[in-house]
Structure 1
């Protein structure tokens, strides 16, 4: 009678899970994890930048662009009647000259001069040639004051969102992130996305710092976004918590996932019954099962027995992926204890009712 009643429990037991195997005319392949299975299923997101990003050279910090602000200084070799300054003023300063949308600047007595695409030295020579016919031996200096003409936008999980000019110290991705105040989330779960035109590339922040080849040169108009990794797994059964759990690291093993939710319940968990439920792509499922005829996603149940000599090593090496369900069954004796409690509880309740009926 007790066996027929539905005693409370957090989910199926091992026998019920194995009953759903394809071998028992179910719809899931149940696979015991070993070294071969671990290698076949060790797939993690591969991020990176395409050749369009990686092959772009560093923008010349001295190259003038439309929108830049320049500071011009002209020294004239005359005393009484300078071309640009007042009488007796041999030095004339133009400290806020902005390059217009067509890439030109206007210099008094020199007219409109093409500035965009030139270096300050090239522009200096062009202005000198224009003024040389009007004032003897002019000495000109050109300085790029601000680089607003070449800028990037930074948003997301950074300490200083905004639009930043590409200048000499900030011509690469990592330098620009530092200029924005650094990352506002844990580095292990930070993803950096760069959009340029109609193309987007992204990398793990850790990989960006560890691999100089990923520290791409920036271009005008780049959009940089820092976001948190949104992968998660679900923990159920006899674990410390039952919840949807976000990844805390770039890679996550089964043993780390169990530890992340508080470990196995010391009172109820069965260490021989740790299961990982997953919809596996056909190519991986075929590799795991040693087949080549499976088509489409396959329901897979991976079994970990932590009591085996290599069980802890297998759990340490088995990679958890986005969307996995980690389920730990209860030890058999737990259900037996519930059964005994139900019997003794029923007997106790009957005895109490009998006492009340007899007036005791």
Structure 2
């Protein structure tokens, strides 16, 4: 907040000695003013940072609106350091502009500001409409040129109309297959692609990307001795080659979300109610994730035993969990030897083992 200018603009680095207000900033970089307070709220149930930053978020979103009267914004760096395919800055920056407006509208509701809630709800609906009018081909369910970033960013940030989600996700999966299950993204695409796939029925495809060991991939770095995250997919690049850079780090969070399935519940933030949506991906026989939430450690573990899959969860005291039960062809779900026919299961605190057999 200290670095924000009166018109709402933030620099691309903080703290700043004055550099970064004219280059490198924009919704794709400086939406931190919105996204960080929102995630603190989701993960800890604490509204204070949202309340403290509320006016700053408003100034920021209002500035984007002022310079982007048609609802689409070209302000930003775009999909920084891509493998090969270059996506329009307008597409990626508008996704973040939309996300900012959505968070602002939700925050207004939480803080009891109905006029602002109505104003920014109308704004994000308008952004979504003009975005899809320009970039979505309704006949093919393909965004722009169909590159990985162009397909995954709208899915991840929620701009895809409900009636097109399954088709867009299928087209994204086809694109990844055409790219030999390797990444063809930059910074913004890597944030979206694994989540967009695993949240829309293609966790196996996401895992194929995540587990690659040849270029371009996270595994390629490791095969070449990396013990940290790099700034560039190319290990012999001549620029943008920091060897300790978080920007391609979404894979770490995805392991918890996409495989372990541990997610905060926006309706009951701070893990008062845990969302558990595991994916038993092909090619992996065992996975375990633990998250230290405000009520204690949440554990999600699954393993294959012959033709069975065992899913063991631990929900800490004074909290609960909503489990989305994966559908596995030919297998049924049992809890305490009782058949579970529902798609979801509500659990109170304690340790449970569910069996697919």
TM-score, structure 1 as length reference: 0.19
Which protein, 1 or 2, shows the higher relative CO under an 8 Å CA cutoff with sep ≥ 6?
1
| TM-score computed with the length of structure 2 as normaliser | 0.19
Determine which structure has the larger strand proportion and give its number. 1
Return the index of the structure with the highest Cα Rg. 1
